[in-house]
Structure 1
């Protein structure tokens, strides 16, 4: 059915670096930290650390896995304080503190130091990498919290930084930073990364492709935001994709060797002690279309296998716990301690293109990239060619569907399995349709992460001025200054 050997691999992560970043986020609690305080390390030492941190803790850290649960891609099959409350939409203060401090005091501060330690012209490669990663972390930060400290953040002379709006301030400046970063990556540089570049071994052309693909994703994220022009943002996404990933050979993955301190972070959420299982929604969506990705994404229930049967049985979110042997695990293809993590994929880029072309020209123009996205992710995961053809051929033309956007996002939801991207797409489109779990702490699925207690203690006046409820109810914030405050037109078909 599939072959794991078909997956492209990136460079191996340093066990020591993983150990540093696994424990680093609890050491800082304030947004503004003296930039001279961290150990003075050379930029070529900082680079592998920040790349590791970006993948391991920012993109796939706690907030990412909370949202996977809220999107019902996984389900919590235990009855205990903590994780059980998480699937009922409660985020504990200490968890929010850790995520906030890691973004600011660790990642953004380290990247600021990197840019200060190099000559922007002579060391253009390092400067471009630091600027791109900084822009990406800023976008990720505002995507999680909405209004956040930005213009005054990271300045030790301003201990209580003001909050900036997401639109137009943070997004506008971060997207411009990405343009500047790509320009730097393309300059001649006296020093370029080598083995310390854990993704591309110093290939700056691949970094530029990654930057443009990430930029396209965030341009499209603004398409339905209040006050934004959907067609202009869609065209900006298409333009960026023209310099982005061009095939599955360009896919960006991060390899983990496994073992203590060097495990895939999904292992501790999903595979260890079976805290999270395959969800009922995931199994249901795959089975209703006879999707050949089912045995890759979901493990058969152990009890049925012992009886000689292959049965996929998901656990519906917030249902009563069931015996582990009766519930399917999340596919080990993704959760093994040495499984690689997806950083960016050609499949995701094609779904971004499909939606952008839907906006610009209608479903006819979106159909080809939509189908190419399905093929790309199936090929990446090792699905047999005949099964790929059968599945793609069975999909109706987008123009024949009442809501082609829903279909594009449905397939994208599968392609970005176990990442934060399905939550990002759901917040702006409402697809796929997901019912809130019953008896939750909130009446609806959260659209932001709660404000950390540490920020309330040290910067309360500016938190209040931001207009966001810092408590649990603030996780439902959908104000006009955030991209998830809008929504696509009902039954979007694109074009004029």
Structure 2
């Protein structure tokens, strides 16, 4: 899906080099000017900063770990991740990468001395609003994974190299407020942002994304701050949420291709898990036909894939127990499969209409909004089938009529949770957050894992204990042991 010219994407990737060259050589004719700081360039292309920050979404959303913890995938070669051995992760790259880029956009557009120099990126107000939305989005992903993290004192550079940690409750309240304020700040009558690979400067879509992310954040608080959750969810929906899936676009070039395509270019380290494949096959859920590729030994050779050709690998099975020829690998629809069958520019779902429909179904059941929960539930399934291009009216009617799928208000939490899990594939981290919040679907931990349960948070970077000791210790004292089984605030 070529939403952007290849050369433009490559230019964004070279942003850091451009900035450094600007700082180093802008004063070549006045070499003796010792007042020029080569580490702080005076000319910055904010549209390239925006593109660069958006490109970070690919790494943060399209990562593998979450898909293993919610058992979308299972490892075929190296099983450390699904054995819960890789629970320590470094959040520093989030701060020095996309968050710093976005803060720079805000600072340059807010400063009277620089605001006029960055108008190639769009009007000052719209640049600030978009940067605030994206900044809140990245912070929400960070706090969902680690819990308490540096927030109010972060992004101050050398002025504060040891920021304190904010409570997750305070972070979430601020994020929700940021989504709302940023949406209200957008001015459709002024110049749209440029360098925008998500919406190509469509400011109304940014408003809808902000409202949808606010609804997602509010729902996350259903068990920890129900009153705030109800108010903010209802308001977000009333303000207008997405009506089209938000997809991150890739290109048919090695520098900007789908990460699942890259992973399967020369290797086959991840198979579709039997946890998801078996249940979907049993219910003849058409989505499994694109979620996975046919197992070579089960393939009938026809272009039309059948359910019998999809063979999930038992989760946590020892590497090599089942030959690769007997199992299915992630499907071409998400980019996987390698050069032979993969789709190099398959888009990555960021937030979908299906997710919003399931969220509204839950909100109706909780009494937060009016409507018919069953209608939103069925609409969520239909939106997901349409998203993956597998909708067939007769098949869909038969699927939703089955007792295991047909909506039952008495078991709404289980049904919505299960269907949401199916629809969020392959966004493992969002599915992991929803699984932690709802407890659905019920997943059996890896019996060979080093932990007795599926991890429910990442542990802090080891550098924090040595370089930010006082604040690290304060966070651990408030949140609980720096352990993968210590719940984050909204999961308690």
Structure of larger gyration radius: 2
Structure of greater relative contact order (alpha carbons < 8 Å, 6+ residues apart): 1
1:291-310 per-residue CA deviation (whole Å, 9 max, x = no partner) reads: 12121111111012268895
Distance 1:300 1:370 in 2: 29
Q: 1:19 to 1:125 in 2, by over 3 A?
A: closer
1:273-329 CA distances to partner (integer Å, 9 max, x unpaired)?
Answer: 111110010111202211121211111110122688952211122202321111101
Query: What is residue 118 of structure 1 aligned with on the other side?
Result: 109
Instruction: Give the CA deviation at 1:401.
Output: 5.6
Q: What is the CA RMSD across the aligned residues, in angstroms?
A: 3.0
In structure 2, the residue matched to 1:161 is 163
Q: Following TM superposition, by how much is the alpha carbon of 1:256 offset from its aligned partner in structure 2, in angstroms?
A: 1.2
State yes or no: 1:441 paired with 2:450.
yes
Q: Give the unaligned 5+ runs of structure 1.
A: 1-7, 24-33, 486-496
2:52 is aligned with 1:49: yes
User: Post-superposition shift, 1:416?
Assistant: 0.7
The worse-fitting range, judged by mean Cα deviation, of 282-291 and 36-45 is 36-45
Q: What residue in structure 1 maps to residue 347 of structure 2?
A: 340
CA drift at 1:244: 3.6
Give the one of 451, 460, 465 matched to 1:451.
460
Unmatched 5+ stretches in structure 2? 18-36, 116-122, 336-342
What is the deviation of 1:361? 6.9
SS at structure 1 position matched to 2:349: strand
Q: 1:461 offset after TM fit, Å?
A: 2.0
Which residues in structure 2 correspond to 1:95-494 (within 5 Å)?
A: 96-97=89-90, 100-119=91-110, 123-155=124-156, 156-167=158-169, 169-186=170-187, 188-189=189-190, 191-194=191-194, 196-225=195-224, 228-229=225-226, 232-247=228-243, 250-269=244-263, 272-305=266-299, 310-321=308-319, 322-335=322-335, 336-360=343-367, 365-383=372-390, 384-394=392-402, 400=408, 402-419=410-427, 420-467=429-476, 474-478=483-487, 482-485=489-492
Give the Cα–Cα distance (whole angstroms) in 1 for the partners of residues 484 and 40 of structure 2: 33
Instruction: Give the deviation of 1:153 after TM superposition.
Output: 1.1
Paired position in structure 2 for 1:85: 80
**Alpha-carbon shift at residue 402 of structure 1 (Å):** 4.3
Q: Is the 8 A contact 1:132 1:211 kept in 2?
A: yes
Q: How has the CA–CA distance of structure 1 residues 245 and 326 changed in structure 2, closer, same or farther, with 3 Å as cutoff?
A: same
Q: TM-score of the superposition, structure 1-length normalised? A: 0.82
Distance 1:314 1:35 in 2: 55
Report if aligned partners of 1:301, 1:328 keep a CA contact under 8 Å in 2: yes
The alignment partner of 1:239 has SS state of helix
Question: CA–CA distance in 1 between the matches of 2:188 and 2:329?
Answer: 47
Contact 1:12 1:256 in 2 (8 A): no
Partner deviation per Cα, 1:79-131 (whole Å, 9 max, x = no partner): x4xxx1111112165xx23xx12211111111110001114896111111011
Number of corresponding residues:
446
CA displacement, residues 9-53 of structure 1 (integer Å, 9 cap, x when unaligned): 854665426755999xxxxxxxxxx99658952212211111121
- TM-score between the two structures when normalised by the length of structure 2: 0.83
Post-superposition CA distance 1:341-396 (Å, at most 9, x none): 11221111101111111111799831110110011111121122332232223357
